[in-house]
């Protein structure tokens, strides 16, 4: 209860003044837009940063020219800090890293591989590095190697997932980390789930699916509608047999993948690159990977990024009162 009490007091007085993620990233609220390959572009990123969170460009398998342009466009739309999510399997990863360094982006999030060889370059350029990892062990390794913070992502998340749940990852990682703050991702989408993450020990939260269903997100309206309509029964993990499980809302494509798996297909029959680079902002809704997390089951309204962030912050601010009632009663 103490953690929630502290959040609520800070929220009502001086919002998150002492929060470690806010201090590290120089942002108002410890709420981060998870980088999403090709989806989190200048409009969405700047909307989150302008609302007091941290927007993150998702470079995925996009070419370096795309990243350079999105960084420049984002700068035109916000004066606030923002980051880039670097997908380490991108064959042009070194060129992308060069752009991040040349453009002096505030912070880089890494995913899909081992970021350690890139640490010295970012550190020499004064760019903060926050790896996204699926286990407490890797989070600790990142801390020992000089990361500025870590994101632990639970298997509730949308897109490529690990095997651990957010509920176990947060406290177990928190226990191992000695010096750097912890960001939690996977299954966080509203005030209640955010409060739970903070209570479990997170210093900040990262959301993907909730921001997919925002006004500023450029995915097609039919994709957003699928998110609003989905229940947890519609959200599946597919492609386990490839070694790269993917959480999606089921559609024709996911059913086809399931049939392939049942027929004993080899992993090589599915090209991982095709999933990351799929143009999910357009195209037939039945034929694209409808990546989304279990959060989709709880999302029922499209709001602007500012409304989403305000909704969560207001919930955290109000929780003090209910917590006091709870502790008085029991
Ligand atoms: C459509 C989609 C694409 C994603 N692409 C990436 C990516 O390129 N790199 C990455 O590190 N994480 C990626 N993620 C994960 C998000 O950054 C975020 O951590 C995750 O969505 C959090 O869980 P949630 O979906 O429950 O909010 C993606 C997630 C989704 C839903």
- How confident is the model over 189-227, as pLDDT tens digits? 999 999 999 999 999 999 999 999 999 999 999 999 999
Q: Which atom of ligand 1 is nearest to the CA of 110?
A: 11
- Indicate the top mutation candidate among 31, 34, 38 to test ligand 1's pocket, ranked by most ligand atoms within 8 A of CB: 34
Average pLDDT over the chain reads: 91
Residue range 145-170: average pLDDT?
Answer: 97
Q: What pLDDT shows up at residue 280?
A: 63
159 Cβ closer than 6 Å to some ligand 1 atom: yes
Q: Which atom of ligand 1 is nearest to the CA of 280?
A: 1
Query: Which architecture does CATH list for 2-218+301-329?
Result: Alpha-Beta Barrel (3.20)
Q: How far is the CA of 36 from the centre of ligand 1 (A)?
A: 5
Q: Using pLDDT thresholds of 50, 70 and 90, give the confidence band for residue 14.
A: low
Number of other residues whose CB lies within 10 A of the CB of residue 129: 23
| Element (DSSP H or E) covering residue 19 | none
Instruction: Output the CA 155–ligand 1 centroid distance in Å.
Output: 11
Ligand 1 in reach of 34 Cβ (< 6 A): yes
pLDDT band of residue 320 (cuts 50, 70, 90) is low
pLDDT at 284: 87
Q: Is the pLDDT reported for residue 19 higher than 60? A: yes
**How many whole angstroms separate alpha carbon 266 and alpha carbon 253?**
17
Q: Where are the domains of the chain?
A: 2-218+301-329, 221-296
pLDDT at 269: 77
Banded model confidence at residue 136, pLDDT cuts 50, 70, 90: very high
Kindly state if the Cβ of 111 falls inside 6 Å of ligand 1.
Answer: yes
Residues contacting 266, CB < 8 A, separation 6+? none
| Per-residue pLDDT, 278 | 58
User: What is the value of pTM for the model shown?
Assistant: 0.93
**Does the CB atom of residue 162 touch ligand 1 within 6 A?**
no
28-53 pLDDT tens trace: 999 999 999 999 999 999 999 999 99
| Higher-scoring residue by pLDDT: 267, 151 | 151
Cβ atoms of 150 and 172 within 8 Å: the answer is no
Burial of 311 (0-12, 13-18, 19+ CB in 10 A): middle
What confidence tier does 322 reach under pLDDT thresholds 50, 70, 90? low
Atom of ligand 1 nearest to the CA of 60: 8
DSSP, res 159:
E
Check pocket membership of 59 for ligand 1, CB cut-off 6 A. no
Could you tell me which of 57, 35, 58, 60 has the C-alpha nearest to residue 276? 60
pLDDT of residue 279: 60
User: Helix or strand or coil: residue 311?
Assistant: helix
How would DSSP label each residue in 243-307? T--EEEE--HHHHHHHHHHHTT--GGGS-HHHHHH--TTSS-TTTS--B--GGGGG----B-HHH
Confidence label for 266 from pLDDT (cuts 50, 70 and 90): confident
| 31-33 and 55-58 strand pairing | unpaired
By DSSP bridging, strand 246-249 and strand 235-238 are antiparallel
């Amino acid at each position: 209860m103490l953690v929630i009490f502290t959040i609520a007091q800070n929220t009502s007085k001086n919002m998150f003044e002492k929060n470690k993620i806010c201090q590290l990233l120089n942002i108002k609220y410890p709420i981060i837009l998870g980088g999403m390959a090709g989806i989190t572009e200048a409009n969405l990123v700047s909307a989150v940063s302008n609302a007091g969170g941290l927007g993150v460009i998702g470079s995925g398998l996009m070419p370096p020219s795309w990243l350079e342009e999105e960084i420049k466009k984002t700068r035109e739309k916000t004066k606030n800090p923002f980051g880039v999510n670097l997908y380490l399997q991108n064959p042009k990863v070194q060129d992308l890293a060069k752009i991040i360094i040349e453009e002096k982006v505030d912070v880089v999030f890494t995913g899909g591989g081992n970021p350690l060889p890139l640490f010295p370059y970012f550190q020499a350029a004064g760019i903060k590095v926050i790896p996204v990892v699926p286990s407490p062990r890797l989070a600790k390794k990142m801390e020992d190697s000089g990361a500025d913070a870590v994101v632990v992502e639970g298997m509730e998340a949308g897109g490529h997932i690990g095997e651990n749940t957010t509920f176990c990852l947060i406290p177990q990682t928190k226990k191992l980390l000695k010096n750097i703050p912890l960001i939690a991702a996977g299954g966080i989408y509203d005030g209640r789930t955010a409060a739970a993450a903070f209570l479990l020990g997170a210093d900040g939260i990262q959301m993907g699916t909730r921001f997919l269903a925002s006004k500023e997100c450029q995915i097609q309206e039919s994709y957003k509608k699928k998110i609003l309509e989905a229940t947890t029964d519609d959200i599946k993990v597919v492609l386990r047999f490839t070694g790269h499980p993917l959480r999606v809302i089921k559609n024709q494509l996911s059913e086809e993948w399931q049939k392939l798996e049942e027929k004993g297909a080899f992993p090589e029959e599915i090209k991982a690159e095709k999933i990351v680079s799929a143009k999910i902002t357009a195209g037939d809704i039945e034929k694209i990977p409808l990546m989304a997390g279990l959060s989709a089951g709880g999302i029922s309204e499209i709001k602007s990024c500012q409304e989403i962030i305000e909704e969560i912050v207001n919930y955290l601010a109000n929780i003090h009162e209910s917590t006091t009632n709870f502790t008085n009663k029991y």
